[in-house]
Each structure stands twice: as structure tokens, then as C-alpha cells.
Amino acid sequence: MKKYLILLILIFTTLTAYSQSIGYEVRTNGKSYISTSYAGFDLRHRTDREENRFTYTYKIPVSKKFTFNLPLHYKIEKDQATIEPRLIYQFEKFNLWVQKEFNLEENMNATFAVDIPVKDFTYRVGWDSSNTIRVRLMKKF
């Protein structure tokens, strides 16, 4: 387990030093996450447990206002891959999105959220089907 922790610290430090963004999310179910991203890749650490997720997101523009994101996640400790298709509608001052997480063996949460960009920050407020409210603050570099 120590070698995973050392690897996580090395990856996190490297990504944070060269990251495009870093964020913190807290949820009403007691979970909280810190994340860093670079060029479509994201590393997220669940702060209340030793749980880490590596993500690659492929973005597909559908129209001027709609974008379809296809995030592929790998939950390291659970050795579990998931996919979370997300449809985003871009309003003038905020983005509204919906997503559904699942894998081949399990039906997971659906999420609805609003992202509000203000200068270098993005604020998120959302709800998922486990009756959890989520709030996120992200800083772009």
C-alpha cells in the first residue's frame, strides 16, 4: 500500500505543478474530493478514504451550444472501470449538464449540475440520484 501512496504523491505533485486546473468538491453524503487535471486527464483523490480515480475525457462538440463528453474512469483501489457520458448545454453565463455513470456490471448514479465560470474559477452545484448535493470550486491556471 505504501508504494501506491508514493506513486499517488508523485503523480499528484507532477500533475499539480503542471496542471490546467485544481479543484475541491464536497458532498452532503460525507464524501469530498480533491482533483487536478491536465489536457483531458484528471486525477481525483477521495479525501475521506484512500480512494483514487484516474480519468480521461473525450469531448465531442454536437452543436454550438451542446457538447457530449465521454469520461472513462478507472478506480484504482477497486480495480473498476466506469464510463460517465455527459451532455452539456452551454448558456451564456453557465453550463447545465446531465450524466449517467455505469459499468458492465452495475447501474450507478445519474447527476444533474450547473457549472458557473467566473474568471479563473468554476463553481459547481449539483444533485445526484443517491439524493446527494455536491458543491465544487475549481481554479484554472
Each residue's pLDDT, cut to its tens digit, for the chain (141 residues) gives 555 666 666 666 665 566 689 899 999 999 999 998 888 889 898 887 778 899 999 999 999 999 999 999 998 888 889 999 999 999 999 999 999 998 888 888 899 999 999 999 999 999 999 999 999 999 998
C-alpha cell belonging to residue 77: 483501489
C-alpha cell belonging to residue 49: 478514504
Are the CB atoms for 46 and 35 separated by under 8 Å? no
131: left (phi over 0), alpha (psi -120 to 50) or beta: left
C-alpha cell belonging to residue 85: 457520458
- Rounded Cα gap, residues 35 and 2, in angstroms: 21
pLDDT, residue 47, reads 84
C-alpha cell belonging to residue 11: 503523480
pLDDT, residue 92, reads 94
Can you give the pTM of this predicted structure? 0.82
pLDDT, residue 99, reads 96
- Rounded Cα gap, residues 1 and 23, in angstroms: 25
Domains of the chain (ranges, CATH numbers): 2-140 (2.40.160)
Angle formed at CA 91 by CA 64 and CA 128, multiple of 5 degrees: 110
